[in-house]
Structure 1
Amino acid sequence: MNLQILSYLFLIFIFISCIGDDFVDDAVEPELRITTLVDTIRQGDSFQFEVMYLNNVGQQENVEVSWNSSNNSVLTIDQNGLANAVKTGNVIVTASYESDNSIIEDQIEVVVGMETVINNITRSGTIQVTSNYILKGNFTLSENNDGLLLEIDESYEASENLPGLYIYLTNNPSTTAGAFEIGAVTVFEGTHSYDIPNSVQLNQYSHVLYFCKPFNVKIGDGEFIN
């Protein structure tokens, strides 16, 4: 009986120690995000642009998007996002969606040139703790041959007694709903990395998220700054 009571009190202690805030607001600003990472399109070629809409809880929804080119003599684009590179020059491609009498949009600058160039960027950010535990470090996300690679640098440190700590990619740093679960955290100090499958796009998510999975409590997060 005493053992059962002690076990119960221990679970309560873990749950309370996980919590940084009593209440969490899951709402985020709706966002339209062009996910195509192209710098230059070869003159005379066609190119398909992709876009995603995220609602006020960071969940992806299918919506009707309008596409526009700032200079149709350089590049045209139809309402399915298919662009045709007409002549050399620079152009702004805009995707927009009208929601609740407001217009949400995203833009990308594109060059029409001699060859198509896809941006190979590295995204980065810093982990911020939101609980009573230790959690800190910097991270980068980049493409590799088989998908993506999330790398945590040497400044990383996390409390080893964190119960059921998991890491995610998400568009809503307040919840794991709709997040991509990378896996359980097994490294608590120093450099390490996670392989992300090629089903995940480089700019599909806005945050790295750490959650106490057994109790569904946030421990910390880090926003990509690019």
Structure 2
Amino acid sequence: MNKIMMLLFLALSSCIGEDIVNDSVPEQLRIVSNLHQLRVGDVVKLEASYFNRVGEKEDKRVLWESSDSIVISIDTITTSLTAASEGIATVIAKTSGMSEVLSDQYHVAVLPEKEEVLVLPELTKVGTFAKVSSYASAGDFEVKKTSSGIQIHLASNYVADQSLPGFALFLTNNPNSLANALQIDAYDDEDGAHYKGSFIYSIDDLGLNDYSYLVQWCRPYSILVGQALIIDK
């Protein structure tokens, strides 16, 4: 009995010893949704999200600009754009950060009014887990848009450490903290946690740009095990 307790103590001590102290991340302004093709006359609502230095979403005034107002005009009162004439323009979002101006942008092609707009699939996001502790963590994944939300496709090389006293997989904007993170996997090790190989998670009511990291945690002791930045494919 004493031997078992000692082994458990050592496992938990090693886990606790790797806790994250600095939970700050770079500020970010992110355009939430965008359409890359429009027809003359189309009107689209503009949306962007600001995330502070701990990855929390905050309300901030966002300024919108068009690189060519003849092609794309922007109404700052209604926060919407109008496809005014044929051509290509860049839509730019800006806001003031703690120490610098933050921005994000995307390109829009405006087609003739009667020309059919190609239905293009939304951009697929990808990521690769990096080991940030003494525990096993590896593998690639893709994040794809669905009609109801997103799907996360873990590749065959995915690995999570089964020796942890508790495990969870999270979407987050701050890999160093569980605050505001969305849990997508179990953490009691006997309730559906996935540790190795291909797997698909389906999550409703999420967009491709809502989160920037997929992370593995030893949740009972709030220890970051592995992390992956979600980027454009």
Opposite residue 212 of structure 1, the aligned amino acid is: C
| Structure 1: distance between partners of 2:70 and 2:120 | 22
Correspondence list, 1:51-90, <5 A: 51-79=48-76, 80-90=78-88
Residue of structure 1 in register with 2:189 after alignment: none
Deviation at 1:119, TM superposition (A): 4.8
Calculate the TM-score normalised by the size of structure 1: 0.90
- Give 1:137 shift: 0.6
Q: Does 1:221 align with 2:227?
A: yes
1:166–1:182: 8 Å Cα contact kept in structure 2? yes
Residue from 91, 95, 100 that aligns with 1:97: 95
Spell out, residue by residue over 1:130-181, the C-alpha distance to the aligned partner (whole angstroms, 9 max, x if none): 1111111101100123321101111112222222110011111111111111
Deviation at 1:21, TM superposition (A): 3.7
Match of 1:204 among 204, 210, 215: 210
- Give the deviation of 1:225 after TM superposition: 2.5
Cα shift at 1:220: 0.6
Q: Which segments of 5 or more consecutive residues in structure 2 lack a partner in the other structure? A: 187-191
Decide whether aligned partners of structure 1 residues 122 and 23 sit closer, same or farther in structure 2, where only a CA change above 3 A counts: closer
Aligned counterpart for 1:192 among listed residues 191, 195, 199: 199
Structure 1 position 32 matched with structure 2 position 34? no
TM-aligned CA deviation for residue 117 of structure 1:
4.8
Point out where structure 1 has 5 or more consecutive residues left out of the alignment. none
Q: Are the aligned partners of 1:18 and 1:133 in contact in 2 as well (CA < 8 Å)?
A: no
Any runs of at least 4 consecutive aligned residues in structure 1 with deviations exceeding 4 A, and if so which? 5-8, 116-119
Cα offset for 1:16? 2.6
TM-score, with normalisation over the residues of structure 2?
0.87
Equivalent position SS for 2:12: helix
What residue is the counterpart of 1:151 in the other structure? 153
Secondary structure in 2 aligned to 1:15?
helix
Q: Do the aligned partners of 2:20 and 2:223 also contact (CA within 8 Å) in 1?
A: no
Closer/same/farther in 2, CA of residues 116 and 76 from structure 1, 3 Å limit: farther
Please give the secondary structure, in 2, of the residue aligned with 1:38: coil
Aligned residues with identical type, % of pairs: 32
User: Any idea what SS the aligned residue of 2:220 has?
Assistant: helix
Residues matched between the structures, number: 222
The answer to whether the 8 A contact 2:91-2:105 is kept is yes
Show the counterpart of 1:112.
110
Whichever residue aligns with residue 187 of structure 1, its letter is: H
The structure with the greater share of residues assigned to strand is 1
Q: Counterpart amino acid of 1:55? A: N
Query: Whole-Å Cα distance in 1 between the matches of residues 206 and 148 of structure 2?
Result: 11
Cα distance in 2 for residues equivalent to 1:10 and 1:216: 20
Q: Distance in 2 between matches of 1:117 and 1:85?
A: 17
Q: In 1, distance between residues paired with 2:139 and 2:71?
A: 44
The counterpart of 2:123, out of the listed 121, 124, 141, is 121
